[in-house]
Amino acid sequence: MIHYRLVTALPSEQEQCHLITRPDSPLLQQDALRNNPLIAEMTARAAQGKLADTCFGCGPFTRITLVPQSAWQDNLTDSLLAFLRPLFASPACREVLLDCTHIHDTVLAKTLRFLFNQQHRLTDLGLKTTTQNDTRLTHIHAYCPDRELARLEPLFKQQQAIANGMVAARRLADIPSEQCTPQFVVEEAQRLCAAFPALRCEVLDEQAIVEQGLGLLHAVGKGASRPPRLLAIHYEGASHGAVRSYVGKGITFDTGGLWLKDGAGMYTMKYDMCGAANVLGLMLSIAELALPVRVMGVLALAENAIGPDAMQPGSVARACNGMTVEINNTDAEGRLVLSDAIAWASQHHAQTRYIIDLATLTGAVVKALGYELSGLMTQDKALRSALTLAGEQSGDEVWSLPLDARLKKQTESAIADLCNTPTNNAAISASAAWLLHHFCPADIPWAHLDVSGTALWREGGKSVASGRPIPLLMQHLLNDLVKEA
C-alpha cells in the first residue's frame, strides 16, 4: 500500500523525498532551495520546455524534478506523465513530494493514479530471477495551500481506491495463462473480496452453466481442459434500490479456436481477460470507498482452446435468453461469452439501472481509435452522454461509434437468429456491439466498451495491463450517485 498525506509546508523528512514541481513554484522560494545555484539552472531549463532532473546537489532533497509549466495543465496528451514515467522506471526515493499548487484536476487525478499504481511491477510475480532496483514508492506527500485541503482530500481518497482496484486487476491480468485459468480467477476474486463484508461471490461451474442454459459460454469453454466459469460479485452498499451491473469478458487465453490465430496474434492473448479483471478491480474500488449503492459485477470466464470438443465453424449455440447464434468464426468468441453474461445479468435482478459491458473485443477498434480512446457503443443517449462526460473528467476517455439498425445485415444468419461475425469484414466493432444489444432487454439501458486499445499499456515494444477503464467507470458511478441523490 502506498500512503499519502496532504501538507501545507515542506515535510521534515525532506532528505528522503523526490520533489516534483514546476519552474515558478513557491516551493522553490523556500529557504532550503532559494539559494541553491542549481535550482536557477534547472528553472531556466524547465522554462524552455525541457525536463530538469537531478539527484546531485539538490539537498535537502534526494532528487528534484522540474517539469515544464505547460505539462501541469495538459489534460489531453498526458505530457506530465510522459516526463515522469521514465523517472519511475528506476526510482531513487521511497517518498515523493508532489506540488499540487497549480495543476489541472484531471492531470492531478491521472498523476495520482500513476503514482499509486507503482505498487505493482511485473517482477512482483516472482518469475524473474535477475535482481532489480528494489526502491519502491511508499509515501506521497502532496503540497497544497490551506484553502485546498478540504477540496483535495476526497480526490486523493477516490484516486487511491481507484488505483488499488487497477492494481488488483493488473496483477491478475499479468499472470501467465497456464496459471490464470477460469478457476484461478474465481479463487483469486474470492480471496480479494473476502476483505470486504459487503462483497459476495456467486459461482457457476461448468455443470451449472449448462443447467442454466448459458450455451454460448459453454460453447466457447468446452474445448479446453480447464472448464469455464461464470462469477457474479455482488456488492450490497445499500439495502434497497436499483442494481448497477457490469459485465466483463474473461477469455483467459485465446488461441482463436479452430479459427487459429498466428503466433504474433496469439502472443498477448493472456490479456483477453482484461475486461473481467477490470470488473473485479472496479468492485474492489467500490467496496473500498463503501459507496451507498447496489452493484453486480459478472465475469464470463473461459479459455478458447483447440481440442476434440472445441466449437466448430457453423455450429449453432443457444444463449440463456433463448436466442440462437451461428458461430461462423470461432475467433469471435468474446461476443459469445458476453452475450450470455449480459442476458444472465439482465435476468438476475428485478430492477437494473443499467448494464455496461467491457471487453478487449476487436482489433478493429484499435484501427479506428488508436490506443488512447476506448470505443463506446450504445443506443441510450443519456448513458452515452454520461459516460462521455465521465471520460473527460477522469482522463479515461471514450469515443462513440454508431449503433443502429443499419448494422442488422451484419449479424443475419440463414440457420439461426444471429451469426457472430459479419461475412463482409466491415464495421467489425459496431457489428459486434449490434450482436450484443440483442441480449439486453430494451427497457434496461446498456452500453458496450471495446477496450482493445486501452486495456494494455504499450511501451518499448512490450505490453502490460493498464487497469483501464476502471477510472472511467468509477467516475461515471460517482456522478450517477450525485445525480440520484
- Quick check: is 261 catalytic? yes
Question: Given CA atoms 50, 54, 57, 60 in this order, what sign does their dihedral have?
Answer: positive
DSSP state of 242: P
For residue 471, is the peptide bond before it cis, meaning its omega torsion is within 30 degrees of 0?
Answer: no
Strands 3-7 and 139-143: parallel
Q: What is the dihedral of CA 266, 269, 270, 274, to 10 degrees?
A: 170
Beta strands in 305-415 (DSSP E): 315-318, 324-327, 352-359, 374-378, 398-400
SS3 316: strand
- Quick check: is 222 catalytic? no
Contacts of 219 (CB under 8 A, 6+ apart): 311, 315, 317, 327, 336
Among the options 22, 226, 335, 468, which is catalytic?
335
Contacts of 177 (CB under 8 A, 6+ apart): 252, 253, 269, 270, 303
- Cβ–Cβ contacts within 10 Å for residue 258, how many? 18
In whole angstroms, give the CA distance from residue 36 to residue 388. Answer: 46
Among the options 45, 121, 200, 261, which is catalytic?
261
Under 8 Å between Cβ of 188 and 231: no
Under 8 Å between Cβ of 146 and 266: no
Under 8 Å between Cβ of 31 and 77: no
Report the catalytic residues.
261, 335
